[in-house]
Amino acid sequence: MNEVLAAGQLRKMHTSLQAPVDYQLPLGDTLVPMNSLIGESLALDFLGLINCIHCGRKTKKSFNQGYCYPCFSRLAQCDSCIVSPEKCHYHEGTCREPEWGDEHCMIDHIVYLANSSGVKVGITRGSQVPTRWMDQGAIQALPVFRVSTRRLSGLVEVAYKQHIADKTNWRAMLKGQVDPLDLAAERDRLFELCANEIAALQGEHGLQAIQLIESGEAVEISYPVEEYPVKIVSFNLDKQALVQGRLMGIKGQYLIFDAGVINMRKYGGYHLQLSRN
């Protein structure tokens, strides 16, 4: 007989920067410690109910990792400029929620280099360091610039992604075939390549708007994985309500089972039951 560990609405896993990263899975009011379950046979059962993670409305389909369609269409946090911050239109007076923009976008952001499936550039709010790096499954990360607004951080990122990736190859990340890099050397190399673009942005927005973090040190991150998969098979709760197998590890926001992997963040708002077989 299965032992039910928790049941309820799912949110993205909580992380703590330890060696390895410590994971907790929020299901309803329960935070399930996941590291101690690695090596055990588990079952995740989708209970057929999805509620919006913002307004709580029951929805048949989840958008943007947990929102109902009305919230997806209305909220600033679901606008396309969140994925492409250089498209921020706050300064044009057309932000969906200016107060939300004040709190989340018109504040300092960090432009960083990370090694999740090779070197990539990314941005995040200062308050999301190092959470953002763990959510991406990065094994190394290095803050490079402190930038005054989200839009400006996006413009810096645009300059950098002419030379390196801005997305993680999630399949390579989950196979664990990622070699360590000298991120400080990459920082210096890319700074030279992008010096003209950075200088132009500083000339337009002010020197203080884009500050190089000269004292930044690379953060090394390890994950609780007993065995990486050779072939990546991805579970889809919309097609297969029951996911089960031996939990081999956790990386990024993925649970790695012997039978496949599942991106837990993708299913925010879904009601699940977690059991030990």
Residues 114-153 have pLDDT tens digits of 999 999 999 999 999 999 999 999 999 999 999 999 999 9
What is the rounded distance in angstroms from the CA atom of residue 202 to the CA atom of residue 232? 43
State percent of the chain over pLDDT 90. Answer: 97
Cα 196 to chain centroid distance, Å, stands at 30
Average pLDDT of the residues in 217-228: 97
Provide the phi-psi class of 206: left if phi over 0, else alpha when psi is between -120 and 50, else beta.
Answer: left
For residue 8, pLDDT beyond 90: yes
- At residue 216 the predicted structure's pLDDT band, cuts being 50, 70 and 90, is confident
- The number of residues making up the chain comes to 277
pLDDT score for 1: 66
Average pLDDT of the residues in 174-179: 93
